[in-house]
Structure formats: C-alpha cells, structure tokens
Amino acid sequence: MLKKPPSVFLASFRSSTYRAYWRQSTHPLASDRSERFERSSVCTSLALHSLRPCRRIFLNFLLLIVVYGVSSTIVLAEDQLAQPAQVQVFDTPNDGGKSLTVVWAAGSQDREDVRYEIWFGEVGDSIEAGPLKVIAEFPSASHYVRESKHGWWTRVGALTDHRFIVRDGKGIELKDGVRYQVAVASVRGTERLMGPKIIATPQPNWFNWNAVNNLVLAVLFGGLVFYSISQAKKKEIFLRRIPGLDAVDEAIGRATELGKPILYLTGAHDMSDPSTIAAAVILGRVAKRTASYETELMVPHRDPITMAVCQEITKQAYLEAGKPDLFKEDSNFFITSDQFSYTAAVDGIMLRKKPAANFFMGAYFAESLLLTETGASTGAIQIAGTDSDHQLPFFVTTCDYTLIGEELYAASAYLSREPVQMGTLRGQDLGKAVLLTAIGVGTVLATIGGIFHAEWPQLLLELFKDVK
C-alpha cells in the first residue's frame, strides 16, 4: 500500500525527472534550433571579422576629411587680408615737435605681397572724399620698433610692432598744436583694408629722455676729472716720459749757444681746431723759456686770428719770465692764407735765418714734408707734434722728435706740471679706461646673448646706445 497520497508522489516525480528531461532532450526540433543558432553565430563573427579593415579605412577617411577641412580653414584665414590692428598715433616723445609716431601690431599677413600705406590729413578731412593722401608705402616686413636707435627706457610698443614717424618736410606740413588724423591701410594687389582714423597733435618736448644715458656718462666722467684734480693737488701724479718734450730745453739751449733764432709754427688750421689750441698753449711754454734765455723767437702765421691770440700768449709768457722788455710785437707775424705761398715763405726764412731749432705743432697737410725737409737741410733740431695721422710718417722721417696724437694735448700739462692740468689729464685717462672696460664687457655680453638667445644682455648694451 502506498504510504503517501498520489499528488505527492506525482509532484516528487515531476521535480526529479522533468527538468533533466528537457536538459537532456534529443528532440529533433530542439537540436535543429541549436545547430542553426551556432551556425548563425559563427557566420556573424566571421562577417564582423571581415569588416574590420573596412571600418579602419572608413575611420581614416573621416580623419583625413576633418584634417583637410581644418587646414583649409587655417590657410583661408591666413590668406585673407586683414586691416592693421592695435593702431596708435601720438606725439613723438623726446623731440622738438612737428612729428607724429604711428605704431601698430604685426600680423600673420606680413609677407612680401602685402604692403602698408600711411594716410595723413588734417582733422575734418575724410578718406572717402579724397583729401587725405598717402604719404608713405612700404613692405609689410619692415619698419619695426626694434629698428629704433633709442633705448628701452623710451621705447613705445613691442619689438615686433611696426613703427612709422610722420615728420614735417618733403611734401608734408606739420604744425605744433594742430590736430591731424592718421590711418594705416593694408594693401595687396588691388585690395585695400583701411584701419581706424586716429587723431593726434604734435607738440615740442622740454626734455629729451633718449639722451639720459649721455647725461649719466657725462656726470660720471666729470666726477672722475674733478676727483683726479683734487688728487693732483694733494700729491704728485706720475706722467709717462715724453722724449720730444724733454728735448725742448735741449733745443732752446742749443739755439742760445749758437746765437740763432727759434722758429715755431702753429699749423694750418685756425683757433677753432683743438690741435691749434694745443700748439698755442705749447708756444706759451716755449716763449717763457726763450725769454729766460733771451733767445730770439719767430712765429709766422697763416691765420690772422691765430696770430692775434699767439701775440697775447707770447706777451704773457715774457711777463711771467720777468723779461717784458724783451718782447717784440713782430715776433708773431702774418704771411698769407694760401697753403703753398706760406710754405715757400717759411722755407725762405729757414734758408736765410738758419734757425737752430724748428717746432712744427698743430695740423698739417701736403706742406709738411716741404717744410721739414728744408729745415733738416739747415741742420736744425726739429720737434714735431700733430694729430694728423696722414702726416705722421713724414714727421717721423724728417724730424728728430715727434709727438704722436694725444701726446700733443698732454704736452702742456707735461711742461707746466700744474695740478689742474695734471688732474685733467689723469681724469681723461681714467675715462678712457672706463670706455675700454665697457667695450670689453659689452663684447662678452653680446656674445652671451647671441649664443643663449637671451634678452637681458641687450638691455645693458643699450645703456651705451647712441652715445655722443
């Protein structure tokens, strides 16, 4: 007999055999479905696998289209002509007036086929009406701020900006206090794009800040000179021995022993030339010695003003020597202003008077060799001093002693030993040392800036820019 009800028995049978039956079923419809499913899956995977190269080619094609479109947009944007940007027009700073400065930013269109035009006119004119005129036209790759000679402390705009200065003259009339309008146009072929019209007024300036570096250097050198003068008053300053100046006493002494005169020439220039001034100062020292030795002095001139100055210098020298009665007005005399007529007259004096000592101080030209050869033929001691470098070979060849270049200017301090002149000479030497040091340091800074492409060396070098 059954211990359980039939429903329980059927339920237990269904639970243990129903699911297994369906899992293990070999029904022909079920097996066909599974085979078709597996076959379709394989075919789908094979189709997708075969489409991968096509998908890669399609993506590359899309990327190419995008890149080409972007590049075409950029090329079209660069090729399109644009009007000048960030245009500024203002009174030119640090000048005497009657000029305006135009500054505008550089653009990507600065090429060989693009040019800039500067339009100019008084206020009230209009470009459309035609009264404004083109006063300048130049390639777009020119007229930059970096081309300016001024230093960084007065520069307006970036180094890459364009700059143009409108000045009075050459068909342009600018007046201080009058308003003008200026415009900049970009031109390529027949296409023109005009920038905004800007109004500005030229005015003179009281101070030129571009030359402030000159002021600083002048104050520096002046301080060196005053410091050297104060040191010269306290102690003796060493000066290098100059053989030509040491021989002055020897030449005057020889003329005194022989009883012959001394001939002194002051050169071919007038009193506006520094070499003539130096020659006149040395004349005062020589005249003082000749007055002490009571030796005759002859000073022929080719300029009347130089003659008048030298007469006073000679008179003062005789007075300082305590021999004012020995002074002769005709010791300084005028011959002629003509070069070779003067040379012929002096040669005649040399041959007739046969001076024992000849002094050639100042600037000379072609007459130098004619004078010194004649003097050498008379057997005189000859001492020359000039800053004319083209005549130095002739003086060195025919004279016993020659003062070369700045030795002529140092002669007065060397002969007098006065503290003021000695200090001035020492201050000038210190100034030269500073300049030589600045040149050396500047060369090193320029080299560093060129190698490492640094900007700070250029800022230091511009302190010595446009030094006068």
What is the per-residue pLDDT for 66? 62
- Of 312, 311, 316, 279, the residue nearest 298 (C-alpha): 311
Q: What residues contact residue 211 under an 8 Å CB cut-off, 6+ apart? A: 466, 468
What is the per-residue pLDDT for 16? 43
- Are residue 219 and residue 361 in the same domain, yes or no? no
Range of weakest confidence among 14-23, 45-54, 86-95, 355-364: 14-23
Specify if 39 maps to a domain: no
Count of structural domains within the chain? 3
Report the DSSP beta bridge partners of residue 95: none
- Are residue 354 and residue 380 in the same domain, yes or no? yes
- Of 266, 461, 456, the residue nearest 358 (C-alpha): 266
Between 263 and 96, name the one with better pLDDT. 263
Residue 78 has pLDDT above 70, yes or no: no
What rounded mean pLDDT belongs to the chain? 83
The CA distance from 63 to 69, in Å, is 10
Would you call 139 helix, strand, or coil by DSSP?
Answer: strand
- Are residue 105 and residue 181 in the same domain, yes or no? yes
The CA distance from 148 to 326, in Å, is 62
- Are residue 339 and residue 392 in the same domain, yes or no? yes
- Are residue 104 and residue 133 in the same domain, yes or no? yes
Specify if 5 maps to a domain: no
The CA distance from 9 to 415, in Å, is 150
- Residue 189 — very low, low, confident or very high, per pLDDT cuts 50/70/90? confident
- Are residue 247 and residue 375 in the same domain, yes or no? yes
- Are residue 390 and residue 245 in the same domain, yes or no? yes
Choose the final residue of a domain: 378, 402, 417: 417
What mean pLDDT do residues 294-299 have?
95
What is the per-residue pLDDT for 255? 95
Specify if 4 maps to a domain: no
- Residue 69 — very low, low, confident or very high, per pLDDT cuts 50/70/90? low
Three-state SS letters, 375-390: HHHCCCEEEEEECCCC
- Are residue 218 and residue 266 in the same domain, yes or no? no
The CA distance from 128 to 125, in Å, is 9
What is the per-residue pLDDT for 352? 96
The CA distance from 18 to 23, in Å, is 9
Residue 38 has pLDDT above 90, yes or no: no
Its sign, for the CA torsion 345, 346, 350, 355, is positive
What mean pLDDT do residues 237-257 have?
89
40-57 residues labelled b (16+ CB within 10 A) or e (exposed): eeeeeeeeeeeeeeeeee
Q: Which two tokens stand for residue 249?
A: 């006493």
Percent of the chain with pLDDT over 90: 48
Range of weakest confidence among 13-17, 144-148, 329-333, 368-372: 13-17
Residue 297 has pLDDT above 70, yes or no: yes
Specify if 126 maps to a domain: yes
Q: Which two tokens stand for residue 129?
A: 């009406």
pLDDT per position as a tens digit, 392-420: 999 999 999 999 988 888 887 888 788 88
Q: Which domain holds residue 248?
A: 238-417
Percent of the chain with pLDDT over 70: 82
- Of 123, 45, 354, 383, the residue nearest 242 (C-alpha): 383
What mean pLDDT do residues 291-297 have?
94
The CA distance from 300 to 194, in Å, is 71
Which residue type is seen at 245?
L
- Which CATH number do you get for residue 114? 2.60.40.10
> Contact, 95 vs 167, CB < 8 A?
no
What mean pLDDT do residues 361-368 have?
94
What mean pLDDT do residues 14-41 have?
45
Residue 72 has pLDDT above 50, yes or no: no
Specify if 71 maps to a domain: no
- Are residue 124 and residue 216 in the same domain, yes or no? no
The 162-167 sheet, strands edge to edge:
85-91, 99-105, 162-167
Specify if 11 maps to a domain: no
Which residue type is seen at 405?
G
- Are residue 132 and residue 215 in the same domain, yes or no? no
Which residue type is seen at 37?
F
- Are residue 321 and residue 252 in the same domain, yes or no? yes
- Residue 257 — very low, low, confident or very high, per pLDDT cuts 50/70/90? very high
Q: What residues contact residue 213 under an 8 Å CB cut-off, 6+ apart? A: 151, 463, 464, 465, 466, 467
Specify if 57 maps to a domain: no
- Which CATH number do you get for residue 410? 3.40.50
For helices 407-416 and 419-452, give the axis angle rounded to 10 degrees.
140
The CA distance from 58 to 46, in Å, is 19
Specify if 15 maps to a domain: no
* Top-confidence range, 16-25, 42-51, 266-275: 266-275
* Phi (first) and psi of residue 32, to 5 degrees: -65, -40
The CA distance from 310 to 44, in Å, is 121
- Residue 386 — very low, low, confident or very high, per pLDDT cuts 50/70/90? very high
What is the per-residue pLDDT for 210? 86
What mean pLDDT do residues 267-272 have?
93
Choose the final residue of a domain: 175, 200, 225: 200
Choose the final residue of a domain: 417, 435, 454: 417
Q: Which two tokens stand for residue 32?
A: 């066909």
Between 426 and 124, name the one with better pLDDT. 426
- Are residue 249 and residue 299 in the same domain, yes or no? yes
* pTM (two decimals): 0.63
Residue 74 has pLDDT above 60, yes or no: no
